[in-house]
């Protein structure tokens, strides 16, 4: 039996393995700005939070430097990086199973609207979702709590239920943003989080089959 009427899903690291394109574009941006480029494993930690935050905190940039970095990043990412990604195995079946079971689906991502829309359309995912809530393109609004708020508001505007809603994501930001609105989070281990982050989740799954079961999709297909 389906356990949740509505399901909010993160994009990067949950539905799509977008790290190659994001990491290579961050490296390109740092090189353009004359900065040292961390090892690829370290750059993976930049994936998840809003990028202005990552450039400031992890890159040690001032506000004006972070703004310059974002300008360089956006142009390169939309031209090249957004296409250097792939769906995680089992995602297409997961979304079909949720729809067939009658769940209402919403994207809740801190990825800005334009690249998120390009990615969803590239993988023909858009039609699965009643609501697509993203960060603003200028990234003035885009914390996970804010996009979760937008996703819930979008569902309500369409007359869809939000009382029994779950967040599915891969990073601590998903857990914290959902908790801000009283929602639990199921974390997926195939994304970009780690053990310390997983400890904060309501439930953690290793495979799409386990996620099917956690959401109560009939049959638990993978």
Pick the catalytic residue from 10, 150, 170, 174: 10
User: What are the backbone dihedrals phi and psi of residue 167, each rounded to the nearest 5 degrees, phi first?
Assistant: -100, 140
Helix 63-79 to helix 113-122 angle (10° resolution) is 20
According to DSSP, the β-strands at 104-112 and 6-9 are: parallel
**What residues contact 64, with CB distance under 8 A and at least 6 apart?**
none
* Rounded-to-integer distance, Cα 168 and Cα 124, Å: 20
Buried b (16+ CB within 10 A) or exposed e, 45-64: ebbbbbbbbbbbebbebeee
* Of 214, 212, 165, 207, the residue nearest 188 (C-alpha): 207
138 catalytic, yes or no? no
Query: Are residues 144 and 173 in contact, defined by beta-carbon separation less than 8 angstroms?
Result: yes
According to DSSP, the β-strands at 86-87 and 165-169 are: unpaired
**Residue positions annotated with a catalytic role:** 10
């Amino acid at each position: 039996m389906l356990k949740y009427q509505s399901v909010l899903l993160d994009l990067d690291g949950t539905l799509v393995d977008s790290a190659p394109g994001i990491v290579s574009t961050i490296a390109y941006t740092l090189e353009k700005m004359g900065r040292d480029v961390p090892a690829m494993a370290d750059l993976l930690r930049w994936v998840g939070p809003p990028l202005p935050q990552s450039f400031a905190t992890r890159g040690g940039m001032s506000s004006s430097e972070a703004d310059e970095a974002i300008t360089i990043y956006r142009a390169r990412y939309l031209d090249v990086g957004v296409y250097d990604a792939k769906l995680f195995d089992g995602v297409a079946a997961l979304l079909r199973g949720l729809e067939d079971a009658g769940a209402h689906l919403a994207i809740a991502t801190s990825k800005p609207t334009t690249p998120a829309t390009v990615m969803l359309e590239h993988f023909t995912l858009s039609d699965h979702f009643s609501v697509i809530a993203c960060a603003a393109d200028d990234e003035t609004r885009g914390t996970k709590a804010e996009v979760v708020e937008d996703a819930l508001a979008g569902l309500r505007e369409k007359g869809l239920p939000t009382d029994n809603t779950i967040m599915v994501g891969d990073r601590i930001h998903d857990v914290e943003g959902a908790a801000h609105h009283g929602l639990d989070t199921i974390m997926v281990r195939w994304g970009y989080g780690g053990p310390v982050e997983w400890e904060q989740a309501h439930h953690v799954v290793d495979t799409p089959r386990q996620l099917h079961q956690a959401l109560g999709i009939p049959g638990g297909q993978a």
